[in-house]
Amino acid sequence: SCAKLFATEMLGRVADRGVQVHGGAGYINEYPVERFYRDARLLRLYEGTTQVQQLIIGRELLRQAA
């Protein structure tokens, strides 16, 4: 869960910056960054959202502390 959370959040940040670099053209299908941005959003939802991953991590930390 920690690795998935970190990787998908970082991918989202990188893809967002890539779209910003291309400006409005970053949303056009001509550029690969458009697909990266779309895929990044999908990966954040696949196998559990960020919030679900945070709950799993928190639950495991609490279990270890007990």
**Residues designated as active site:** 47
Of 22, 14, 19, 8, residue with least CA distance to 51? 8
Distance CA 5, CA 58 (A): 12
